[in-house]
Structure 1
Amino acid sequence: MSNTDLGARSDRGSEYADLSRLVRGAGLLDRRPRYYAVRVTLVLACLVVVGVVFVRLGPSWWQTATAAALAVLLAQLAFLGHDAGHRQIFRTRRANDVVGLVCGNLLTGISYGWWVDKHNRHHAHPNTEGRDPDILVVPLSFTPGQAATQRGLRALFVRHQAALFFPLLLVEGLHLHAASVRAIVIRGGLRHRATEAGLLVLHLAGYLAAVFVVLSVPQAIVFILVNQAIFGLYLGSSFAPNHKGMPILTEADDLDYLRRQVLTSRNVRGGRLVDALLGGLNYQIEHHLFPSMPRPNLRDAQPLVRQFCADHGIAYHETTLTQSWAQGLAHLRAVGTGSTRPGDG
């Protein structure tokens, strides 16, 4: 989308300040400790139940169902780690980091520090070419410029990337684990590097020991593949509706914070079930405007934000879950087949 389409920056900082006052005045930035206490307790209790079923069931091919249930719980833990990374749970950074390290490194095997750094860069420059790490994902191409640089097998993949997108998500879980290990072993800059490394080792050792002690080798391998495939598919399917197929900005699109966050984000309609399944990410616009807003407050913030956008002529995009996937796939297909123009969303 071009600068002309989006509108250039003007002195609009006061608009976001006005919206912030509305949201803060409604108490929507207040922490929700009881909600998170119940949420954490529920997820951990379910994790214990799945563990007991896993041990009692023993060496059985029915353990593929256990693997699927575990994948859903791991994704729910990842959502809690996401909330901790945005300091939605506690006011202090240290308390949130403890929750994030336990949910991320210890229980899901994903580096909390690596993910927070990557995710913060995404929030600062959502859908911005060259700045947002979420649209720099090999082997996908999200812009015509990215597609034009691909050669050989990569070019062939990009041409069919819409059809291959969801199959690709089946290995997203393994990719997250590998990226976490690389971040700790190769990259510097992690605030709790030694702690993260130790927790990741504990996760990997415990996970593999439990699987290979209880199951036969073939069953263990199938369990791991099913568990990680569903985990990656679930996470990827939860994050994909948020921005894929929305306008992609360039450095020339000098937008104010309010418009940068709203115009590049998409909400997903649904009730409490959708809220739970997507970890609150279905309120992506509100989340991007107020990253530290506790998850349960996003639903109440939506009417305020939507009306504010309507009053100020700012496009507010909301659709169903299936339509959000369809829009994202349509964008990938257009980029892959060369039927989109530079700057199109």
Structure 2
Amino acid sequence: MTSTKAGEDAGAGFHRGLREAVFSFLKTKSLNPIDESGLLRKAIINYTMWFTLYAAYLFVGAQYGWYALLLVLPLAFAMLCIVLSVMHDGSHGAFSNSRFINSLASYSLAFAGGSPILWRQLHVRAHHDNTNVIGHDQDFESGGLIRLHPAQAQHKAHRFQHLYAWFLYMGHSIRWIWFDDIKDYFTNRWPVSPTERKTLLTEIVLAKAWHAASYLIVPALVTGSWQLAIVFYLAHWMILSVALILVFAMAHLTHVQEMPASTAEGKQDWALHQLATTVDFATENRLLSWIVGGLNFQIEHHIFPKISHTRYKLIQPVVKEYCAKHGVRYFEYPTFASVLGGHYRHLKTLGQPA
């Protein structure tokens, strides 16, 4: 892991100065912060890949039965690419200069069975506005089964969380799709206007209906086997769940990031807060960057969420240089294995008795 050590005080204008440096760099290179054509190409590739693999799943399932399980990993991979490379940029307004196209891209989450409206509340606002702040960043919620933040209550079972957490990660997406969205709607967890609430209900109903039809009903009818459809469904979403959880966990939970116990404790210059609570990892791995939608460049994403992920590699040297110049730490794990080890140590450390 490499890092630029923190200075005592980078100044209240750190974020403003960093923005000026990054946007000046992009202007010098004649690059639009929004890489619309590049992201559109990725969207076409990813959706073509998904529909091709989905058709192959139905065909193989109908003709060769359980051999269709060989397509679990490829289809999960295709959906992962759609969620991280299309939906994620769209939800941040970084897919296109058009608000309508950004909204359309963000609805890729409904294609996966989730609610784009609730995602914007949970991720774009709660997580990005209060990164790693307990009680505000909802990504720490685990029902007490896993201790991810020092301010969370500790239980005896947590001593083994570095061993069992990986299995719990498998159920995240299924719980999110079938329980969390519905619970959040009926408990009105994220207050929205009456008009948006009607839209939200329609969105949830249609997204869940599509999800059930595409992953369970249609495969069962085409292949003639409910057992195959259910096993395929569970395996697919367990794999996808682990991948999605790890992208978040490795960026924010490796025991080197700060963990504010309140918004007051975490309140400082916007960019400084993001640098203190986020790390980059495996930034030289171009294949990984393509798959996860540039989210191995989490520092750049958190400071510049409205810049397309295909620009992160280009602006990273500017961010690192600016941090070094102002004595601000910049954490970066060199490989996927090293950051995965960091998350393992985080789980193990927080699980031990104080």
TM-score (norm: length of structure 2)? 0.86
- Which residue pairs with 1:84 in the alignment? 90
2:139 match: secondary structure: helix
Letter in 2 for 1:175: R
- Which residue pairs with 1:201 in the alignment? 209
- Which residue pairs with 1:23 in the alignment? 22
Map Cα deviations across residues 169-201 of structure 1 (whole Å, 9 max, x no partner). Answer: 111121221212333454352733144122332
Please give the residue correspondences for 1:92-131 in structure 2 after superposition, counting only pairs within 5 Å: 92-101=98-107, 103-105=108-110, 107-119=111-123, 120-131=125-136
Q: Which moved more, 1:309-318 or 1:193-202?
A: 193-202
- Which residue pairs with 1:53 in the alignment? 56
- Give, in whole Å, the separation in 1 of the partners of 2:10 and 2:251: 27
Stretches of structure 1 lacking an aligned partner (at least 5 in a row): 149-154, 340-345
- Which residue pairs with 1:152 in the alignment? none
Map Cα deviations across residues 10-57 of structure 1 (whole Å, 9 max, x no partner). Answer: 682322211111111222662111111111110111112112212221
- Give, in whole Å, the separation in 2 of the partners of 1:182 and 1:15: 40
Letter in 2 for 1:164: Y
Stretches of structure 2 lacking an aligned partner (at least 5 in a row): none
Letter in 2 for 1:112: P
Please give the residue correspondences for 1:227-266 in structure 2 after superposition, counting only pairs within 5 Å: 227-245=236-254, 246-250=257-261, 251-266=264-279
Map Cα deviations across residues 50-77 of structure 1 (whole Å, 9 max, x no partner). Answer: 1221222124111112222211111112
- Which residue pairs with 2:72 in the alignment? 67
Q: RMSD across aligned C-alpha pairs, in angstroms? A: 2.1
Q: How many residues are paired up? A: 326
TM-score (norm: length of structure 1)? 0.88
Q: Which moved more, 1:248-257 or 1:328-337?
A: 248-257
Seen in structure 2, the aligned counterparts of structure 1 residues 193 and 289 have a Cα distance that, compared at 3 Å, is same
Seen in structure 2, the aligned counterparts of structure 1 residues 254 and 47 have a Cα distance that, compared at 3 Å, is closer
- Which residue pairs with 1:293 in the alignment? 307
- Give, in whole Å, the separation in 2 of the partners of 1:278 and 1:49: 20
Contact 2:36 2:95 in 1 (8 A): yes
- Give, in whole Å, the separation in 2 of the partners of 1:253 and 1:58: 52
- Give, in whole Å, the separation in 1 of the partners of 2:11 and 2:340: 32
